[in-house]
Amino acid sequence: MKPKIVFLDCLTVNAGDLDWQPFEALGDFTAYDRTETADIVSRAAGADIVLLNKTPMTAETLAALPRLRLICVAATGYDVVDVAAARSLGIDVCNCAGYGTKAVAQMVVALLLEATNRVGHYAEANRHGLWSGSKDFCCWDSPLTELDGKRLAIVGFGNIGHAVADMLRPFGVALYAVTSKPQEALPTDVGKMTLDEAFSTCDIVSLNCPLTRENERFVNGDLLEKAKDGLILINTARGRLVDDDAVAGALRNGRLAYYLADVLSTEPPRADHVLLHEPNAYITPHIAWATAEARQRILDIIVSNIQAFMAGRPQNVVN
């Protein structure tokens, strides 16, 4: 008998541009765009396999789903699932590590180039007459910056951090890493430094580390007080790595020239979120991972995870 497979919140992964056929071939497949907490148990009732992105799976919810044997998280992070409770109930939890490495690194570059070359700013200004109203063949109202020779520190030198270094190396930046890895494990042109050194001596700092209990809001007022004036801070990792109010304050006093982020501490944010209204905070709506290519890789990995589980050889198990 083919398993019953339920995807509780498929919309962000597949908005209709990708094919569900591989899942339909695996079993009795149902996909919901979104699932409210109150509806999780009723929708997942009788499922052997549940797929999810951000829908929470608490110990209480898991206990109410006796047939459930596999949870596939359509992401790298799996903190929405109580993995210890799942383990105690004999439920495997699998993730999709590595699917978005290049996509997220590309967003780091895109955000950085927006700050240094201001393409979006000038395209919008030209729609309102900046160039057509100029007396000269060129005009600018905001400085442009070359990356060549600038110092860039990457906080967290895993797969994404490594990819960021690879993509920015051709721009001529001097590369550094804040990492637990020893110097000999880093590329020869990447120097190891401390977090304080990164903020106080570098022109650009990119956060590419996981969120843990120990590092929540580690980018705080004390650390930002040590920052080199005009630092560009990039965050494509997790919003709660930074203290939003401290970052806003550092933008206002010039410690930070720009805060470039694809994530915020609460998602979606309130309309009055402090960083949405700072002129030098460029915030994108958690889309670094969401290229069509990366989303297809998520589906491919989930299909592979289900096939491996059904064959008795579970893979990418995180619990």
Question: For 127, what's the count of Cα atoms within 13 Å in the CB-facing half-sphere?
Answer: 5
User: How many residues are listed for the chain in this entry?
Assistant: 319
Query: What sign has the CA pseudo-torsion 18, 21, 24, 25?
Result: negative
- Active-site option among 60, 124, 267, 293: 267
**Widest distance between CA atoms in the chain:** 75
Q: Which amino acid is at 281?
A: A
Distances (CA, A) of 294 to 23, 110, 206: 17, 17, 21
Scanning the chain, the segments in alpha helix (DSSP H) are 21-26, 40-44, 59-63, 83-88, 101-117, 119-127, 159-168, 195-201, 221-225, 244-253, 292-310
- Active-site option among 69, 118, 162, 238: 238
Question: What is residue 245's three-state secondary structure?
Answer: helix
Using CA atoms, how far apart are residues 251 and 275, in angstroms rounded to an integer? 10
Asked whether 243 and 217 are in contact (CB, 8 A), the reply is yes
Q: What is the DSSP string of 163-183?
A: HHHHHHGGGTPEEEEE-SS-G
Using CA atoms, how far apart are residues 35 and 17, in angstroms rounded to an integer? 20
User: Is 267 tagged catalytic?
Assistant: yes
Question: What is residue 234's three-state secondary structure?
Answer: strand
Using CA atoms, how far apart are residues 96 and 81, in angstroms rounded to an integer? 14
Strands 231-235 and 256-261, bridge-based pairing: parallel
- Active-site option among 43, 121, 151, 286: 286
User: Is 286 tagged catalytic?
Assistant: yes
Q: Which residues are catalytic?
A: 238, 267, 286
